[in-house]
Amino acid sequence: MKKISAPFFLLFSLAFFFAHPLFSQKTSVKEIDRRVEELLAKMTLDEKIGQLNQVPGDISTGTDVAKDDLLSQIKAGKIGSVLSHTNFDNKIVMQRAAVGTRLGIPLIFGFDVIHGYKTIFPIPLAQAASWDMAMIENIERIAAEEAGADGQNWAFAPMVDIARDPRWGRVMEGAGEDPFLGSRVAEARVRGFQGDDLGKNTTLATCVKHYAGYGFAEGGRDYNTVDMSEQRLREIVLPPFQAAAKAGSATFMNAFNTLNGVPASMSKHLVTDILRNEWGWKGLVVSDWNSFGETIVHGAASDDADASAKCLSAGSDMDMAGGTFLRGLKKALESGRVTQAQIDNAVRRVLRLKFMLGLFDDPFRYLDPKRREATLEKPEYRLAAREAAAKSMVLLKNDGGILPLTPESPFKNITIIGPYADSRDHKDYMSFWTLGIGNPDYDTTKIVTPAMSLKSTLEEMGFQVTVTEICLDAACNEKDLSVAMKATTSSDLVIVCVGERGIDCGESRSISDISLKGNQETLLRIAARGNKPTLMVLFNSRPLVFPWADENVQSILVAWQSGYETGNALADVVTGKVNPSGKLPITFPRSVGQVPLYYNHLNTGRPQSQMGQMWTSGYLDAPSTPAYPFGYGLSYTTFSYSNLTVSKSQPKMGETVEVSVNVTNRGNVAGEEVVQLYIHDVAADIARPVKELKGFEKIKLNPAESRTVTFKLTPEELSYWNADLKFKADPGKFKVFVGGNSRDVKEAEFELMP
Ligand code: BGC
């Protein structure tokens, strides 16, 4: 087992010890541990195994009376946690049953709180596009308040999987392709959910997932094999997990995949060696849905007992939805494959979490109907949803300055058209994850569609607006196209709402073709015929490719799946009430054949400078550059960068280097810019990425205003995992890049002296 180099490890462990909520109040932690031990001493083996068993509620209807079976198992002490249960009253029934058992151990309720709970925010990938950590933290605070008021104690979030493959449906749940941005987002989400005190009933325990490597499924096929070097694992995949651990996430979730041949749930390397021993993290690890049982399907365990022994021994604690521990753990103990002490340790972690959440002191503290009534869907939450959606949108193109639409714009008649102009399927604006949100009375009036808000807003400004409802099957058939032809004839501007269906993204929603489905491109061609000014608004969960639109459509706005307030936020951006400031957290390729395409790649020995150049690394039939690079996004103003300076041209190893740049707003309107800092280690001991994000700051500038932004490059940021798996910096030349995206940058350099 290779270790993190000593000074960093020490610093990290100390910081972690003091920062972690589990250990922030030493006396109460001592008291919790005392109570855990007292309880543990009274428990039978069956009761212990019951605490390690997590069982699904009924997520399909959300209204069932707690199933007799579920209830009798709770009464028999066979269940420690219930997940994905949506009915509030039933949770009270279940909790009563748990509290009525011999030892009265309360249940803990877990739920996938992915982008809001009742108030639906933009999908996580969209939120990451805001690069606004305070906003993301606030969203999770709201989600925790709502979920907590509805009886949930434990959020299966944040999902921090770095992903480079848009074919993978779960790209939408993460923060994109970059470990630095991903780490900042992970911390913000943990802070938002857990606050500074897990003991409050307005906070939820987080569950960082999916540990680890899940985002690198081969071919982008969900659940597929992951095989990568330890160096890539540590450099790209693990940083957001480590950041979340350091921020105090109470729990972790295993991943479904194998990593280098070992199912992640039974990976001692991941769970014990790295997470628990190297990082010193003390929380609970839960499996993913039946991922203990699936070790048998992977062919890495022979039966339930073997799977139980291997997963528990790896350091994983709780079995989600598989019943593997229930069937196999006792046998594993009896046959000597696990020890009583190992089982006790896992049970301790479950009990400790329940104590920390205050569930022993008051098992119903998250189940107060009055608080529920007063909390869910507060108007102020909707305002936050609107702000978040507007801040997440990314303007990719604005040729001729079509946007923003103002009373001075040279258009009169506007047509809003396309499958996502006014979709009646709420999930189209909210994603697959809202299926289980526990709102059986979901009605589409809760969602503001683009047509609803944009139409009235533009009409109030004096435009004549027609919404043409077509493409109800989302694909646009021939009849839709002929309607579109007529509808757009007399308009001066067409707003075409295209993209992908909400139910086509998320878990188990991998696709092999990331272009616009059906006849959506033809619809764009019809709208833009004769060079008619056209705005394409994209409703998407992942990078999609739309080469024709890139060339021919004047304005392109990425609106993502933006939740309840999609339409209002879109109106805010289109009319300039909000100046777009989103930046892509993931590369948009030109074609699916380029995948994986990411900005922080290594150089080859034969980098390509132009398409088709022989004997270089590239394609004969496609450029190797993306359609839109990581970090990219336009504003209604422009920003210039000048005076890039590095504080020391020859810093010594161990010194911090300061990098400053002046940013000026050159346009006529105020705007926000995400100033991004990248480095390149020019001659290290191994090949290093051509660029690596090492800092960013989102700033607001009025017209003609300038600001100097200063970044600190610490020794840690100049270090990397080398061939011997030591985390260290090499002396030598470094390049520094600063700009508003990963491609268009100013450049400086320094030399790190031995
Ligand atoms: C997903 C997890 C989720 C769990 C519980 C699994 O299928 O991979 O992300 O938390 O289900 O719903």
Cα–Cα distance between 159 and 173 in angstroms, integer? 6
The end-to-end CA distance of the chain, in Å, is 28
* Integer angstrom CA distances of residue 98 from 51, 64, 372, 717: 11, 18, 21, 48
- Check residues 1 and 472 and name the one with the higher pLDDT: 472
**DSSP labels, 406-457:** -TTSS--EEEEESTTSS-S-GGGGT-GGGGGSS-TT--GGGS--HHHHHHHH
Q: How confident is the model at residue 66 (pLDDT cuts 50, 70, 90)?
A: low
Cα–Cα distance between 290 and 296 in angstroms, integer? 10
Q: How confident is the model at residue 87 (pLDDT cuts 50, 70, 90)?
A: confident
Are the C-beta atoms of residues 419 and 472 closer than 8 Å to each other? yes
Q: 639-752 adopts what CATH topology?
A: Immunoglobulin-like (2.60.40)
Among 132, 150, 288, 319, the active-site one is: 288
Peptide bond into 240 cis (omega under 30): no
Q: Indicate if the pLDDT at residue 18 is higher than 70.
A: no
DSSP class of residue 509? -
Q: Indicate if the pLDDT at residue 12 is higher than 60.
A: no
pLDDT at position 127 is: 98
Q: How confident is the model at residue 68 (pLDDT cuts 50, 70, 90)?
A: low
Q: Is the CB of 161 under 6 A from ligand 1?
A: no
Q: Find the range with the poorest average confidence among 33-47, 58-72, 587-601, 614-628.
A: 58-72
What is the position in ligand 1's atom list of the atom closest to the CA of 112?
A: 10
Q: Is the CB of 288 under 6 A from ligand 1?
A: yes
Active site residue 425: no
Amino acid at 747: E
* Integer angstrom CA distances of residue 173 from 75, 345, 433, 582: 36, 31, 9, 17
pLDDT by residue (tens digit) across 138-186?
A: 999 999 999 999 999 999 999 999 999 999 999 999 999 999 999 999 9
Q: How confident is the model at residue 480 (pLDDT cuts 50, 70, 90)?
A: very high
Q: Is the CB of 156 under 6 A from ligand 1?
A: yes
Q: Pick 6-260+337-373's CATH classification: 3.30.420.60, 3.30.565.10, 3.20.10.10, 3.20.20.300.
A: 3.20.20.300
Residue extents of the structural domains in the chain: 6-260+337-373, 261-336, 387-594, 639-752
pLDDT at position 155 is: 98
SS3 category, 76: coil
Atom 6 in ligand 1: which residue has the minimum CA distance? Answer: 289
Token output for 17: 């010890």
In the predicted model, what is the mean pLDDT of the chain? 93
How confident is the model over 188-207, as a mean pLDDT?
96
Q: Find the range with the poorest average confidence among 239-243, 389-393, 445-449, 558-562.
A: 445-449
Token output for 474: 């989302």
Q: Is the CB of 632 under 6 A from ligand 1?
A: no
Cα–Cα distance between 149 and 488 in angstroms, integer? 48
How confident is the model over 435-449, as a mean pLDDT?
63
Q: How confident is the model at residue 472 (pLDDT cuts 50, 70, 90)?
A: confident
Atom 11 in ligand 1: which residue has the minimum CA distance? Answer: 289
Report the residue among 55, 111, 288, 509 best suited for mutation to probe ligand 1: largest number of ligand atoms under 8 A from its CB: 288
* Cβ contacts of 47 within 8 Å, gap of 6 or more: 77, 102, 103, 105
Q: Indicate if the pLDDT at residue 305 is higher than 90.
A: yes
Q: Indicate if the pLDDT at residue 437 is higher than 60.
A: no
Strands (E), 205-334: 205-211, 251-254, 258-259, 262-263, 284-286, 319-320
Are the C-beta atoms of residues 88 and 526 closer than 8 Å to each other? no
Packed helices 304-314 and 324-334: angle between N→C axes, nearest 10 degrees? 80
pLDDT at position 446 is: 81
Token pair 């109460």: residue:
28
Token output for 318: 């709780």
Q: 387-594 adopts what CATH topology?
A: Rossmann fold (3.40.50)
* Cβ contacts of 440 within 8 Å, gap of 6 or more: 61, 62, 63, 86
CA angle 472, 476, 479 (to 5 degrees): 95
**DSSP labels, 662-686:** EEEE-SSS-EEEEEEEEEEETT-SS
Are the C-beta atoms of residues 87 and 63 closer than 8 Å to each other? yes
Q: Indicate if the pLDDT at residue 223 is higher than 90.
A: yes
SS3 category, 51: helix
Count CB atoms within 10 A of the CB of residue 45: 13
Are the C-beta atoms of residues 222 and 266 closer than 8 Å to each other? no
Are the C-beta atoms of residues 20 and 47 closer than 8 Å to each other? no
Q: Which of 437, 273, 248, 211 is nearest to 353 (CA)?
A: 248
Report the residue among 289, 320, 510 best suited for mutation to probe ligand 1: largest number of ligand atoms under 8 A from its CB: 289
* Cβ contacts of 26 within 8 Å, gap of 6 or more: none
- Backbone phi, then psi, for 111, in 5-degree steps? -155, 150
Please tell me the pTM assigned to this model: 0.96
Q: How confident is the model at residue 435 (pLDDT cuts 50, 70, 90)?
A: low
pLDDT at position 58 is: 63
Q: Indicate if the pLDDT at residue 24 is higher than 80.
A: no
Are the C-beta atoms of residues 121 and 128 closer than 8 Å to each other? no
Percent of the chain with pLDDT strictly greater than 70: 94
What is the position in ligand 1's atom list of the atom closest to the CA of 173?
A: 9
Q: Is the CB of 214 under 6 A from ligand 1?
A: no
Atom 7 in ligand 1: which residue has the minimum CA distance? Answer: 289
Q: Is the CB of 628 under 6 A from ligand 1?
A: no
* Cβ contacts of 259 within 8 Å, gap of 6 or more: 212, 213, 226, 227, 228, 233, 267, 270
Q: Indicate if the pLDDT at residue 637 is higher than 70.
A: yes
Token output for 180: 């630095």
Peptide bond into 440 cis (omega under 30): no
The CA 332 to ligand 1 mean position distance, Å, reads: 26
